[in-house]
């Protein structure tokens, strides 16, 4: 009702022209994401053909100009903290609390407001959502072993830390801070028209970095992360340490530890 599962999507990869900066805005058009770069201001839909090309084949390259990280299950294990926040928020609002499994199963639906609406069985207001964010204020997280050192190594090499997450920007900023992390480029699920496994967020990150989506490696633990990367024409790197990792999901590479991401860079 409120979203789609991973299997509802089958996107060809796409490479767009190389924008130098980006802006995004929502309007009445369904393609409200707007990119601004060498092609000027164009709609998300137009960006696919503006100065670029389409690539429907799988990418087997193991090099990239930049890496992009998923957040939950990739940078840190939030499999307890985030579901607990949803359950407590539902209880505060007078709804039966959801189980951790129910919350995690709803992740592909979209950002927190979509997940909360699904779990509550009706749309919720912005005021209702404050119950969820109030719970996140108490979150305590630890990065997976090797994450902090790997992000430090990227920055030491002059590479920005880029994160594309299905969580909202507000939730992402709170959770990253709780884990003692930050991102130089952050795109939340509430800032793109479609949730993963659609590739929208990777197009935004590529625009911010000034590279083509095909020059990215997207690192994530879930099948939706892998499919989003492949839909964008990016290198799909599965994070085997994450709690949603599925070895049956085809990926361009499988990383055993965060530091392996450094070997993907050209």
Distance CA 167, CA 75 (A): 13
Contact status, residue 14 vs residue 232, Cβ threshold 8 Å = yes
Give tens-digit pLDDT for 186-244: 999 999 999 999 999 999 999 999 999 999 999 999 999 999 999 999 999 999 999 99
pTM of the model: 0.78
Collapsed DSSP state (helix, strand, coil) of residue 63? coil
Distance CA 178, CA 189 (A): 19
pLDDT of residue 266: 84
pLDDT grade, residue 125 (50/70/90)?
very high
pLDDT grade, residue 1 (50/70/90)?
very low
Domain with CATH 3.40.50.1000 in the chain: 12-76+142-264
If one looks up domain 12-76+142-264 in CATH, what number appears? 3.40.50.1000
Q: Is the confidence at residue 85, as pLDDT, over 70?
A: yes
Q: What is the mean pLDDT of residues 67-79?
A: 97
Q: Is the confidence at residue 164, as pLDDT, over 70?
A: yes
pLDDT of residue 4: 38
Q: Is the confidence at residue 179, as pLDDT, over 90?
A: yes
Q: Is the confidence at residue 58, as pLDDT, over 90?
A: no
CA 245 to chain CA centroid, nearest Å: 15
Q: Is the confidence at residue 43, as pLDDT, over 60?
A: no
pLDDT grade, residue 62 (50/70/90)?
low
pLDDT of residue 249: 97
CB atoms within 10 A of CB 16: 28
68: β partners: 162, 218
Backbone phi, psi, residue 140, to 5°: -130, 125
Pairing label, strands 235-239, 66-69: unpaired
Mean pLDDT of the chain: 82
Give tens-digit pLDDT for 10-19: 333 322 222 2
pLDDT of residue 46: 36
In the set 27, 46, 70, 128, the catalytic residue is 70
Give tens-digit pLDDT for 88-124: 999 999 999 999 999 999 999 999 999 999 999 999 9
Distance CA 108, CA 119 (A): 13
Does residue 70 carry a catalytic annotation? yes
Q: Is the confidence at residue 258, as pLDDT, over 60?
A: yes
Residue with tokens 């830390």: 161
């Amino acid at each position: 009702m409120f979203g789609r599962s991973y299997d509802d999507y089958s996107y060809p990869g796409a490479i767009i022209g190389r924008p130098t900066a980006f802006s995004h805005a929502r309007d009445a058009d369904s393609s409200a994401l707007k990119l601004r770069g060498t092609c000027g201001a164009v709609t998300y839909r137009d960006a696919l053909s503006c100065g670029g090309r389409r690539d429907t084949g799988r990418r087997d390259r193991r090099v990239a100009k930049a890496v992009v990280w998923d957040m939950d299950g990739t940078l840190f294990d939030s499999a307890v903290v985030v579901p607990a926040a949803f359950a407590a928020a539902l209880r505060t609002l007078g709804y039966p609390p959801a189980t951790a499994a129910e919350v995690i199963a709803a992740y592909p639906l979209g950002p927190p407001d979509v997940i909360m609406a699904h779990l509550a069985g009706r749309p919720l207001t912005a005021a209702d959502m404050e119950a969820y964010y109030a719970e996140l204020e108490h979150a305590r997280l630890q990065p997976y072993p090797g994450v902090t050192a790997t992000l430090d190594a990227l920055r030491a090499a002059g590479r920005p830390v880029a994160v594309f997450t299905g969580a909202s920007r507000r939730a992402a900023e709170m959770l990253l801070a709780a884990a003692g992390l930050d991102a130089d480029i952050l795109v939340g699920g509430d800032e793109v028209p479609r949730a993963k496994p659609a590739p929208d967020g990777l197009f935004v990150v590529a625009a911010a970095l000034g590279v083509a989506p095909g020059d990215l490696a997207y690192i994530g633990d879930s099948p939706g992360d892998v499919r989003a990367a492949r839909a964008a024409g990016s290198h799909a790197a599965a994070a085997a340490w994450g709690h949603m990792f599925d070895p049956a999901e085809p990926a361009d590479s499988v990383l055993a530890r965060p530091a392996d991401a450094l070997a993907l860079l050209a």
